[in-house]
């Protein structure tokens, strides 16, 4: 049993796949953060635009 665990720890097959999975996870987190900030900024932009148009159209 001990030999199995030693061999398992030393086995480097699949390491590249794990590295790609970690990298993909980091990319997803970064894109989510950027997307959230972009969405908030665009919402504020359109709200301000709508409010300015409403204010300008009042007599």
E strands in the chain: none
Residue 57, pLDDT score: 87
Rounded to two decimals, what is the model's pTM? 0.51
CA distances from 28 to 9, 17, 32, 33, 47 (A): 28, 16, 6, 9, 28
Residue 27, pLDDT score: 94
CA distances from 37 to 25, 31, 53 (A): 19, 10, 24
Tell whether the model's pLDDT for residue 59 goes beyond 80. Answer: no
Residue 36, pLDDT score: 81
Domain borders along the chain are 30-59
**Per-residue pLDDT tens digits for 1-56:** 888 878 877 877 777 888 889 999 999 999 998 888 787 888 888 999 999 999 99
Sign of the dihedral defined by the CA atoms of residues 47, 53, 56, 59, in that order: negative
């Amino acid at each position: 049993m001990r030999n199995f665990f030693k061999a398992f720890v030393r086995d480097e097959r699949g390491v590249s796949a794990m590295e790609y999975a970690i990298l993909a996870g980091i990319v997803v987190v970064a894109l989510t953060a950027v997307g959230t900030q972009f969405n908030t900024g665009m919402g504020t932009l359109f709200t301000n635009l709508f409010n300015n148009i409403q204010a300008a159209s009042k007599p």
